[in-house]
Structure 1
Amino acid sequence: MAKNYGFLICILVMVMDIVAGILGIQAETAQNKEKPMKVWIFECRYPSHQAFQLGLAAVILLSLAHIIANLLGGCVCVWSKDQYRTATANRQLAVAFLIFSWIVLAVAFSMLIIGTLANSRSRKSCGIFNHRFLFIGGILCFIHGLFTVPYYVSATAMRREEKRRLESLGGPAIRR
């Protein structure tokens, strides 16, 4: 008897994205508590070790949430527009959510990395890379969860749909 862990995986991915978002926002708050420093016309803050740690934790959680959803959701490939048009609704949704989740991941990951590296202890100079990157990255973590969970759901529904179709045609069942 196959057990359905889909609900738990969706909860896990969503919780990881929410925690990553909260950590990103807390990292921004910790960064803003540091004293301002002025170099020529640029005004920024001294590096915050707490902001660095929180930003790094947010990056790790965001990455893990994305990896879990994509590994367990499986590969959803569409090679042409014609194949996309003739695909089932679940496959089309899975492809769309996969693309959006990768775009949001790329932007959120970049924002969190930039904000985290700005709080690195090795940073000696002041630059313009201190403008709410951690906060925006944290917000994008929430949005990442809104795209990643539907991707996982539609990808697993697509696999079940294809399995049923093959079984109805008399072909061998696809094993998971």
Structure 2
Amino acid sequence: MALMAKRMGPVICLLIMIMDIVAGILGIEAQVAQNKMKFMRAWIFECREPSYEAYKLGLAACILLALAHVIANVLGGCVCVSSREEYTRSSSNKQIAAASLVFSWIILLVAFSLLVLGTVSNSRSRQTCGFSHNHLFVIGGILCFVHGLFLVAYYVGASAARAEENQIFKQQRPAGPFPLPV
């Protein structure tokens, strides 16, 4: 089982990065599609027609971003750190995993919010007027790339921390005529 997990690690990291890169590209393409629509601007207000193409691309970017996050968190396992003391006593792999997990969640919340706002603004069937929000898709798309980097760091750190804990457990297991099953 451990050998299979070792072989699957690079594949999972590659899958996570590809999903986040595609989500970022779709977010940027959604911005391009949105910019092709007619709009009128007056100071910080603008009126523009929604783009169904931007809506589809933004929705696909949201789905891929969320899916990449779920895959990394499920396959990476739980890296639980309950206090600052425990964090400082932890191995460097566990510290990297915990920090990467926190940053990936923060980036997910911001990127997902931006992509959803851009997608929802393009879901209406008629022209809308309001505050200018031109770069939601681009910023969300760029954050998808950063999100992928933190997810890969989390997955690698969590896998290494789990391997360290398994190694420590094997070393501390009592030897005797009836060894405990692993």
TM-score interval, smaller chain = over 0.9
Q: Does 1:83 align with 2:86?
A: yes
Secondary structure at the counterpart of residue 127 of structure 1: strand
Deviation at 1:170, TM superposition (A): 1.3
2:100 to 97, 101, 104: 97
Letter aligned with residue 158 of structure 1: A
* Partners of 1:97 and 1:123 in 2: CA distance: 41
2:150 to 147, 154, 159: 147
State how 1:55-70 maps to structure 2 within 5 Å.
Answer: 55-70=58-73
Which protein is bigger by CA-based radius of gyration? 2
Report the RMSD for the aligned CA atoms in angstroms.
1.8
Deviation at 1:164, TM superposition (A): 0.5
1:167 to 165, 170, 173: 170
* Partners of 2:49 and 2:118 in 1: CA distance: 12
Aligned residue for 1:15? 18
Question: Is the alpha carbon distance of 1:168 and 1:18 closer, same or farther for their aligned partners in structure 2, counting shifts above 3 Å?
Answer: same
Question: Is the alpha carbon distance of 1:121 and 1:147 closer, same or farther for their aligned partners in structure 2, counting shifts above 3 Å?
Answer: same
Q: Percent identity?
A: 57
Deviation at 1:38, TM superposition (A): 5.1
* Partners of 2:87 and 2:62 in 1: CA distance: 32
1:73 to 60, 70, 76: 76
* Partners of 2:67 and 2:87 in 1: CA distance: 29
Letter aligned with residue 10 of structure 2: F
Comparing 63-72 with 31-40, greater Cα deviation is found at 31-40
Are the counterparts in 2 of residues 16 and 62 from structure 1 also a CA contact under 8 Å?
Answer: yes
* Partners of 1:39 and 1:161 in 2: CA distance: 59
Q: Does 1:50 align with 2:26?
A: no
Comparing 92-101 with 40-49, greater Cα deviation is found at 40-49
Number of residue pairs the alignment of both structures matches: 174
Q: Using structure 1 for the length normalisation, give the TM-score.
A: 0.92
Q: Using structure 2 for the length normalisation, give the TM-score.
A: 0.89
Aligned residue for 2:159? 156
Are the counterparts in 1 of residues 50 and 127 from structure 2 also a CA contact under 8 Å?
Answer: no
Letter aligned with residue 144 of structure 1: H
* Partners of 2:113 and 2:98 in 1: CA distance: 23
Moved over 2 A (4+): 37-41, 121-125, 171-174
* Partners of 1:46 and 1:28 in 2: CA distance: 13
Secondary structure at the counterpart of residue 59 of structure 1: helix
Secondary structure at the counterpart of residue 128 of structure 2: coil
Consecutive unaligned residues of structure 1, counting only runs of 5 or more, are none
Secondary structure at the counterpart of residue 69 of structure 2: helix
Deviation at 1:37, TM superposition (A): 3.5
Question: Is the alpha carbon distance of 1:91 and 1:48 closer, same or farther for their aligned partners in structure 2, counting shifts above 3 Å?
Answer: same
